[in-house]
């Protein structure tokens, strides 16, 4: 298990995106690793689950980085000038990319913007993987929808925009990866997703099978830590955000692919490398999350505290990688699991399958499983999450 070094210095730490579960995990991690730290949580929402944590000393509300990017950057710059933080940790793609574009002066322990975009841009990622021999689905590249000839496609296939979030200069456009079963699906995508008319995308061969991910920590181009998990239930049920996950042994081949890719770009900071495992066992690179991921708390519970390791290295404090973490540890996002159950019950599944799914949801597991948000030693974040959940019903 990870041994935390008690540090007596009062470090000033700012955690952004505090209404994200990953933001809450970061706050809890650093609150334990640095008991004397002055932790400020911030988000674009008036209140946040991370702001309710016992480890948060201050909560701040900033302008929306999505709809008011320049106001957000001005707020960060002004606030950091007055507070002089030792560490600033964004936990979403939007805030991390904005800050990396906006200034080099902030204490952010991530790779530079150009390096981040070499992996966050899926088209560039595929080209890099192909150059160094990492398997990827068969891919066709298009500058925009006008360059696509539908007669050349083989179904099923996957339409994948080059970027998950597109920065326009004045705001952000969220994109969607779509599974296309036939030309009708293609036409719906082209007519419904306006950004395809102007921005690049790929058409990739559909890979049946299941997903797998390797979580990584790098320090100035050197690999430090790896961790793996598997998704047991997702929202929506057919594939999406993990609501029940479990730590898993590292697969040497996936670690090697991840290492080759991150070494190639001289990575720094955290990353989650995602693969699709075909029925024949072949792994295909799918994408890289260049920020903290949704199931971050699972790694921490399993003994691999990525936020603490990253923060200590950034602050020049000693820390050692974990070579033997707990396999089989589970993490459940309760309200997300409830949503997943509701979606499953609405779908045209057999009654027996629905009954089984309800039993799975209701059957408690007391050993080897923890809840992601609701924790007895820090319960207020769950109250805040529940309040937001009820309000949005």
| Residue 221 in this model has a pLDDT that exceeds 90 | yes
The verdict on 104 and 175 lying in the same domain is: no
Element (H, E) at 231: strand 222-235
Using CA atoms, how far apart are residues 286 and 49, in angstroms rounded to an integer?
Answer: 31
Dmax over CA atoms of the chain, in Å, equals: 66
Let me know if residue 212 belongs to a domain. Answer: no
Let me know if residue 305 belongs to a domain. Answer: no
User: What's the pLDDT band for 364 if we cut at 50, 70, 90?
Assistant: confident
Domain final position from 89, 109, 129: 109
Question: Quick one: pLDDT at residue 4?
Answer: 42
What percent of the chain has a predicted confidence (pLDDT) above 90? 89
Let me know if residue 37 belongs to a domain. Answer: yes
Determine contact, residues 295/121, Cβ cutoff 8 Å.
no
Question: Quick one: pLDDT at residue 3?
Answer: 43
Let me know if residue 176 belongs to a domain. Answer: yes
Tally of CA atoms within 13 A in the half-sphere of 165 that contains its CB: 18
Contacts (Cβ under 8 Å, ≥6 apart) of 203 = 139, 140, 142, 148, 153, 157, 158, 159, 160, 180
What's the CATH number where 37 sits?
3.40.50.20
- Using one digit for the tens of pLDDT, what is the confidence trace for 19-40? 999 999 999 999 999 999 999 9
User: What's the pLDDT band for 104 if we cut at 50, 70, 90?
Assistant: low
Domain final position from 179, 205, 231: 205
What percent of the chain has a predicted confidence (pLDDT) above 70? 97
User: Domains in the chain: how many in total?
Assistant: 2
Cβ neighbourhood burial of 153 (10 Å; 0-12, 13-18, 19+): middle
139-142 vs 172-174, strand pairing mode: unpaired
The verdict on 17 and 103 lying in the same domain is: yes
The verdict on 24 and 99 lying in the same domain is: yes
Nearest to 50 by CA among 31, 75, 25: 25
The verdict on 18 and 87 lying in the same domain is: yes
- Using one digit for the tens of pLDDT, what is the confidence trace for 77-92? 999 999 999 999 999 9
Rg (CA), the chain: 21
Q: Which two tokens stand for residue 174?
A: 């969220």
What's the CATH number where 197 sits?
3.30.1490
Element (H, E) at 99: helix 93-102
Question: Quick one: pLDDT at residue 393?
Answer: 87
The verdict on 77 and 142 lying in the same domain is: no
Using CA atoms, how far apart are residues 276 and 286, in angstroms rounded to an integer?
Answer: 7
34: domain range? 12-109
Round the average pLDDT of the chain to a whole number and report it: 94
Let me know if residue 81 belongs to a domain. Answer: yes
Average pLDDT estimate for 184-195: 96
Question: Quick one: pLDDT at residue 6?
Answer: 45
| Residue 292 in this model has a pLDDT that exceeds 60 | yes
Q: Which two tokens stand for residue 272?
A: 């989650």
| Residue 63 in this model has a pLDDT that exceeds 80 | yes
Which of the pair, 180 or 210, is modelled with greater confidence?
Answer: 180
| Residue 8 in this model has a pLDDT that exceeds 60 | no
Per residue, the 3-state secondary structure of 165-218, as one string, reads: EEECCCCEEECCCEEECCHHHHHHHHHHCHHHHCCCEEEEECCCCEEEEEEEEE
Let me know if residue 18 belongs to a domain. Answer: yes
Determine contact, residues 72/80, Cβ cutoff 8 Å.
no
Determine contact, residues 25/101, Cβ cutoff 8 Å.
no
The verdict on 97 and 157 lying in the same domain is: no
Let me know if residue 217 belongs to a domain. Answer: no
Domain final position from 186, 205, 224: 205
Determine contact, residues 208/227, Cβ cutoff 8 Å.
no
Question: Quick one: pLDDT at residue 181?
Answer: 94
Question: Quick one: pLDDT at residue 103?
Answer: 64
Using CA atoms, how far apart are residues 199 and 349, in angstroms rounded to an integer?
Answer: 38
Using CA atoms, how far apart are residues 197 and 143, in angstroms rounded to an integer?
Answer: 9
- Using one digit for the tens of pLDDT, what is the confidence trace for 312-329? 999 999 999 998 999 999
- Using one digit for the tens of pLDDT, what is the confidence trace for 195-205? 999 999 999 99
- Using one digit for the tens of pLDDT, what is the confidence trace for 114-164? 999 999 999 999 999 999 999 999 999 999 999 999 998 999 999 999 999
Let me know if residue 129 belongs to a domain. Answer: no
């Amino acid at each position: 298990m990870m041994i935390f070094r008690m540090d007596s210095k009062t470090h000033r730490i700012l955690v952004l995106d505090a209404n994200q579960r990953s933001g809450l995990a970061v706050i809890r991690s650093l609150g334990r690793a640095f008991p004397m730290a002055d932790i400020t949580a911030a988000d674009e929402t008036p209140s946040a689950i991370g702001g309710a944590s016992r480890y948060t000393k201050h909560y701040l509300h900033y302008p929306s980085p999505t709809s008011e990017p320049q106001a957000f950057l001005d707020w960060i710059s002004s606030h950091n000038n007055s507070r002089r933080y030792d560490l600033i940790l964004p936990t979403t793609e939007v805030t991390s990319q904005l800050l990396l574009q906006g200034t080099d002066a902030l204490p952010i322990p991530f790779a530079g913007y150009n390096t981040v975009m070499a992996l966050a841009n899926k088209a560039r990622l595929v080209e890099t993987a192909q150059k160094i021999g990492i398997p990827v689905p068969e891919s066709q590249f298009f500058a925009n929808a006008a360059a696509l000839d539908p007669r050349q496609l083989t179904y099923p296939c996957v339409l994948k925009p080059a970027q998950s979030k597109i920065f326009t200069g004045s705001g952000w456009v969220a994109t969607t990866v779509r599974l296309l079963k036939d030309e009708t699906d293609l036409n719906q995508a082209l007519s419904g997703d306006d950004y395809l008319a102007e921005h690049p995308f790929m058409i990739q061969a559909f890979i049946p099978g299941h997903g797998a991910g390797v979580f990584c920590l790098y320090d100035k181009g050197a690999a430090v830590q790896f961790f793996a998990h598997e998704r047991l239930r997702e929202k929506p049920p057919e594939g999406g955000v993990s609501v029940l996950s479990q730590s898993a042994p590292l697969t040497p081949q996936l670690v090697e692919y991840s290492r080759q890719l991150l070494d190639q770009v001289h990575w720094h900071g955290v990353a989650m490398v995602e693969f699709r495992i075909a029925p024949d066992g072949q792994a295909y690179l799918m994408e890289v999350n260049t920020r903290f991921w949704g199931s971050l708390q699972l790694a921490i519970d399993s003994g691999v505290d990525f936020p603490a390791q990253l923060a200590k290295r950034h602050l020049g404090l000693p820390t050692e990688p974990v070579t033997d973490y707990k396999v089989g540890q589970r993490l459940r996002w309760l309200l997300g699991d409830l949503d997943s159950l509701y979606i499953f019950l609405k779908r045209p599944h057999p009654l027996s399958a629905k009954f089984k799914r309800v039993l799975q949801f209701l059957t408690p597991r007391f050993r080897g499983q923890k809840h992601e948000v609701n924790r007895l030693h820090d319960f207020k974040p769950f109250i805040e999450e529940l309040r937001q959940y009820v309000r949005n019903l």
